[in-house]
Amino acid sequence: MKPFVKLIYVFLTLSIPLLSCSGDDDGRANQPPEDFSLISVSDEALEVGLLPAFSWENAADPEGEQVTYTLLLDTQENPQTIVSENIGDTSFNLVDRLLVLTQYYWRVEAVDSNGNRTSSNTFSFTTRNLDFSDNLIVENAAFTPREDHTSVVFDNKIWVIGGRDHGGFKNDVWFSTDGINWSLATNEAPFAAREDHAAIVYDNKIWVIGGYDGNPKNDVWFSEDGVNWSLATNAAPFTARLGHSAIVYDDKIWVIAGFDGSLKNDVWFSEDGVNWSLATTAASFAARGSHSAIVYDNYMWVIGGSDESLKNDVWFSVDGVNWSLATNAAAFAARFRHSTIVYDNKIWVIGGNDGELKNDMWFSTDGANWSLATNAAPFAARDLHSTIVYDDKIWVIAGYNGASTNDVWAFD
């Protein structure tokens, strides 16, 4: 054999064993991290805080490679939503608030430097209820005690509009950034002093619709600052009314039902507050007033009220024309003059009157099945109050609890 041929042969012979190794000295494929278990939040834990700390066992790597972790958390039984990855420790403190009264599932994946993964088992837990301790924001706000007013959130402020106090109907407008300190935007807006009106935020404006100033109203007003108000129309085509509801849905203002001397179940909509169209003159739900309406899960919802008897039915619609019954008898007592909001991906019904004043709070994720958050919130039982969502809290403002009030409460 020629010398240079022999040299190549020897080189190839020595190289073959080295090339046959996959990265481990014994020729095995690189192994993923070893099995490990979750520690906390413990499986099936209840009343868990909204910013929990998670921890798990260390996952050893057979080759001694560095291991990082990926935390997955959501409301599915096999969670797929990545909360954080490349975690170098065996713990993680959540920084984004979870939803109240919600069941979550979580697991962790251990990842070695070659990208091999080992998943932990999956734990579930349920977050706490609303915090009902020490929730009084202010006992006597700067605005006079009142009922049958409206509240909205606009320009990162809470607004209180009109209503009725011991002196009669009001057309003052107040705002606050913290619920404690209130400023007067105007003591007399150009719209007539009134109660039982509707107010919404649409097109970067506050809107006041209808109500009662001694007579039912069907005027529509708007403001870009809460101080200066303009008349959209003095007489919308829907009949003058009170006890109606207004919502924003599908980039339109909607006015639903109410009382114009007789109870109504008509539905109207507008894109500018001036020109109104009739969706239906007779929705599937019974004619009613002092009900509530909200937007949730891409539907319009109508809840309770009075059709000369108190109601606890729940209806929904995608177009304002066709309405479907979610339940004819929700778990909460039939009532009117309650409030309804959407908070933490749930519909909430708060207080009202079922023949007696109420301070219970109920919630639902589908409009059909309702659960009791509390039978007795710390605020006095009341109706004709207002409720908004602001600063990740439910706010309950003023109302009638045997007398007009001007207290402000917040719950998270």
The pLDDT of residue 173 is above 70? yes
Sheet with 216-223, strands from edge to edge, namely 198-202, 205-212, 216-223, 229-233
Rounded to whole angstroms, how far apart are CA atoms 107 and 113? Answer: 20
Q: Pick from 301, 290, 360: which is nearest to 148 by CA?
A: 290
What would the pLDDT profile of 242-273 be if each residue is shown by its tens digit?
Answer: 999 999 999 999 999 999 999 999 999 999 99
Sheet holding 404-411, edge to edge: 136-138, 404-411, 393-400, 386-390
Higher pLDDT, 295 or 8: 295
pLDDT tens per residue, range 59-81: 999 999 999 999 999 999 999 99
Residues 6+ apart with CB under 8 A from 214: 169
- Read off the pLDDT of each residue in 206-218 and give the average, rounded to a whole number: 98
| 330-359 tens-digit pLDDT | 999 999 999 999 999 999 999 999 999 999
- pTM of this prediction? 0.91
- pLDDT on residue 26: 56
pLDDT at residue 25, rounded to an integer? 52
Strands 45-48 and 123-127: parallel
- Confidence at residue 224, expressed as pLDDT on a 0 to 100 scale: 98
Contact present, 29 and 108 (Cβ < 8 Å): no
At 3 the three-state DSSP class reads helix
Peptide bond into 41 cis (omega under 30): yes
Q: What is the pLDDT of residues 266-292, one digit of tens each?
A: 999 999 999 999 999 999 999 999 999
Closest CA relative to residue 268, chosen from 214, 260, 307:
260
For residue 27, what pLDDT is reported? Answer: 60
Secondary element (H or E) of residue 19: helix 3-19
pLDDT band of 28, cuts 50, 70, 90 = confident
